[in-house]
Structure 1
Amino acid sequence: MSNKIVVLFGGSSLEREISLKSGKSILNTLKKSGINVIGIDPITFPLLYLKKYGFKKAFIALHGKGGEDGTVQGILEYLNIPYTGSGILSSAITINKFLTKIIWKEHGLPIIYPYFLLNKKDFIKKNYLTIEKKILQITLPVIIKPNCNGSSLGIFKVNHMDNLFNILEKSFVYDNNLLIEKYVKGTEYTVGILNNKILPPIKIGYSNIFYDYQSKYYLNTTKYFCPSGLNKNKEKELEDIILKAWKVLNCRAWGRIDVILDEKKNFRLLEINSIPGMTPKSLYPIAAQKAGLSFYNLIIKILSLTK
């Protein structure tokens, strides 16, 4: 009973489907090793009862809102149950793309700019001229992203002003705030962090306009390259950027940061993922494997970093 562990997965966010897959992978791995572990979906079980049922540690495999935004972390801290991943404040900040960019910029880290945040109220009020003016200042094409959402859901590229408001409407389905930023052409990389050390970077090759939800989870044309093909100097530069980006947000234990290498060969930070996917198609386990960590050893390592 002393080591009773709960894996939290599922939840009510738009990323529920991915979370169920992540959680099941983690749960099955821990079960096979004989650990006393139970999987719980917060939709069907009130989390305030976790203490009552004798759980000593929580492995959070919830993605998106309710999992990566500090909410579940707050409940677990209240219950005094150690959990995997970043704390309340770091989780609440990193799920918010706009806030994350502001902090990174403040610390002199390379981000994509210009950018601005658009609230649904302004859109409903039909402040179209103001919105158009702001977007034209950025200059087309632009990328529109739901501000507090993951898995590339609701992300669109806008090339022409004539379909702008139609696209904004579609994107607002996912969030009440949209981050609108300059579209940057380049090569995307994702870098896992484990205990303040970076895992081998992965270069992402995709056939769609950008690395969207379909490319991530369903298309067989998406290719991952690890080693990434970056030369030693570029890899060192990337490592320095990633570790600084991680530390200024006070993140801990494990996570993933996405970057793009633009056509001028400059890295630009995209976003941070405080609870990466752990599905059979997920990138974090691929990078860990390249670093010599089996899926089982990776799970045990993350579990050992609970706070």
Structure 2
Amino acid sequence: MTKVAVIYGGMSSEREVALMSGETVIQGLKEAGYNVVSLDLVITESLVPWLQAEKPDLVFPVLHGGMGEDGTLQAVLQWHGFPFTGSGVIGSAVALDKYRSKQIFRAAGLPTADFNIVKSAEQARQLEGQLHYPVFVKPANEGSSIGISRVNSKSEFLPAIELAMEYDKEVLVETFIDGPEYTVGIVGDELMPVVSMKSQTEFYDYEAKYISDDTEYNIPSGLSDEKEAYVQSIAKQAFEALNCSGWGRVDLMMNSKGEVFILEVNTIPGMTSHSLVPMSARAKGWSLAQLMKRIVDTV
């Protein structure tokens, strides 16, 4: 019986989500017949001794944000010779960094919204009068929509920058895209069905993702077969451009002209009851146990 060590929780701002995701993964792996051991990771020196004592066949990280999804944990696992699910060090580090991701998308000829990076209050003051509002302001290295604001006017800009800087020293300022949001899950060579989301909040924020029962999820997405295939293709190209592997999720938006823009790549997507990869797996006819087995088989 394959022994899988699930490392979850952690101490990033996304800890609560990672705890919920971890419980889902543990349940699914057990249902799939794996021997599961788990560790709620609080960054201490106990991780490597724990793994050396448990001797798992592979590790399944379920951590969101810094110190788990940013390549740090992946580097430790790789250094000590523990196989693990998901992207390696480079893919994990680059994908969490929205600013560098967008630079790579641009270099690869992939569509992404125009953007600026802000690293200081002085830069923010210089930029605020040059923007065409609305814009999105977001920490460059966070997930789960934490610290993100939709800024509708100049007067809202500096407070939004201050909020984002509570989470990261680099802040991304992104052109607002007026249209629906889509996501594509990827497991190995499989592209999952496109999911469209419509929230009752101003945008698809933390509450809409993890708390609200009012968010609308549509599978089928409502796109034509041709457009759905195009969105999946763009998602795959984005995933590969960042050197991601194993499994993940790509988020995109479409403007009123029907143009598709890549938002970001998630290398350890949420796995809660509201999460999109389990949702698209169910639409594909996979149970939670089958989804877990397919992810494990990518290692």
Question: C-alpha deviations, 1:121-151, integer Å up to 9, x for none?
Answer: x22xxx2xx5344243331111100100000
The equivalent residue for 1:297 is: 290
CA contact (8 A) 1:196 1:252 kept: no
Distance across 1 between alignment mates of 2:66 and 2:179:
29
Separation (CA, whole Å) in 2 of partners of 1:77 and 1:292: 33
Equivalent residue number for residue 40 of structure 1:
39
- Deviation track 1:135-182 (CA, whole Å, cap 9, x = no partner) reads 433311111001000000010011122232222212211111110111
Residues in 2 aligned to 1:41 and 1:177: alpha-carbon distance in whole angstroms? 28
Q: CA RMSD in A?
A: 1.4
Query: Within 5 Å, which residues of 2 pair with 1:1-307?
Result: 3-43=2-42, 46-49=46-49, 50-113=51-114, 115-119=115-119, 122-123=120-121, 127=122, 130-306=123-299
Q: Which amino acid aligns with 1:82?
A: P
Cα separation, 2, equivalents of 1:159 and 1:37:
48
Q: Out of 136-145 and 284-293, give the one that drifted further.
A: 136-145
Q: Decide whether the 8 Å contact of 1:206 with 1:222 is kept in 2.
A: yes
Following superposition, the deviation at residue 111 of structure 1 comes to 0.4
Letter aligned with residue 284 of structure 1? V
Give the distance between the partners of 2:197 and 2:132, measured in 1 at CA: 26
1:79 CA displacement = 1.3
Matched residue type, 1:17: E
Q: CA deviation at 1:34?
A: 4.1
Question: 1: CA distance between counterparts of 2:248 and 2:39?
Answer: 22
- Greater Cα offset, 40-49 or 151-160: 40-49
TM-score normalized by the length of structure 1: 0.93
On the 8 A contact 2:69/2:96 being kept in 1, the answer is: yes
Most deviating of 133-142 and 187-196? 133-142
- The structure-2 alpha-carbon separation of the partners of 1:197 and 1:135, relative to structure 1 and needing over 3 Å to count, comes to farther
Deviations 1:68-126 (A, max 9, x none): 1001101111110100000000100000000000000001100001x11111xx22xxx
Uncovered stretches (5+) of structure 1, i.e. residues with no partner = none
Task: Find the aligned partners of 2:156 and 2:137 in 1 and give their Cα distance.
Answer: 12
Equivalent pairs counted in the alignment come to 297
- Could you state the TM-score of these two structures normalised by the residue count of structure 2? 0.95
Q: Which sections of structure 2, spanning at least 5 residues, go unmatched?
A: none
SS at match of 2:254: strand
Contact 1:10 1:62 in 2 (8 A): yes
Distance 2:196 2:54 in 1: 43
1:47·1:75 contact (CA, 8 Å) conserved in 2?
A: no
- 1:257 & 1:158 partners in 2: Cα distance? 24
Amino acid at match of 1:186: G
SS at 1:148 equivalent: coil
Asked if the contact 2:69–2:268 (Cα under 8 Å) also holds between the matched residues in 1, the reply is yes
SS of the residue aligned with 1:41? strand
Contact persistence 1:51–1:79 (CA under 8 A) = no
Counterpart residue identity of residue 51, structure 1: Q
CA distance in 2, matches of 1:163, 1:293: 44
Identity of aligned residues (%): 36
In structure 1, distance between residues paired with 2:225 and 2:234: 14
User: How far apart in 2 are the matches of 1:252 and 1:161?
Assistant: 40
Conserved? CA contact 2:125–2:158, under 8 Å: no
Local SS of the residue matching 1:209: coil
